[in-house]
Amino acid sequence: MSHTFLLDENVPIRAIVQKPGPALDLLRTLSKNCHHRLVASDILLDKYRRELREHSERVEETHALLVSNLFRGLLSDSDKTLVVAGHESEIRTYVRHMNDYFLVDIADEITGHGTRGCCILVTTDEPTRSDFNEKRMADLGCRGVTIEDGLVMAQEPD
């Protein structure tokens, strides 16, 4: 089964900070399994860049380069990553944290307000993950999962 993943900015942070672990495994799996794709917006891409730069300074250079190169490779592959405009959606208030409204904007755009499929948010943020699993978001094709659950889903065959 093919999935469209929306990775919160904490996923690449975990891949850097928790050297071997599910976040790094998720990035590796997504890069290998060509039937899955990522979705992002310019806002999220900027957050990724900023977080990778900031957290790369805290670990050994070889590991930081490994994660950065892997993640940049995923993001630069137009067959793997769809970059959407992320226009303000009328449903952005479906999540509690204003700083996560942009995630709803991306999800709403990729699902076509529930008419074009689903979007799976992978995050360590429990409140936002919970909000994505509320009925009103699920009805639009959205779902929130942990990094570990995202890894299991990414390992599913086509």
Tens of pLDDT, residue by residue over 5-22, are 999 999 999 999 988 899
Rounded to a whole number of angstroms, the distance between the first and last alpha carbons of the chain is 5
Q: What is the DSSP string of 56-87?
A: HTTS-HHHHHHHHHHHHHHHH-TTTEEEE--P
Q: What are phi and psi of 29, to 5 degrees?
A: -65, -45
Tens of pLDDT, residue by residue over 56-106, are 888 888 999 999 999 999 999 988 999 999 899 999 999 999 999 999 999
Q: What is the pLDDT of residue 114?
A: 64
Of 123, 127, 97, the closest CA to residue 14 belongs to 123
Q: Which residue range is the domain that position 45 belongs to?
A: 4-154
Q: What is the pLDDT of residue 158?
A: 75
CATH number at residue 80: 3.40.50
Domain count, the chain: 1
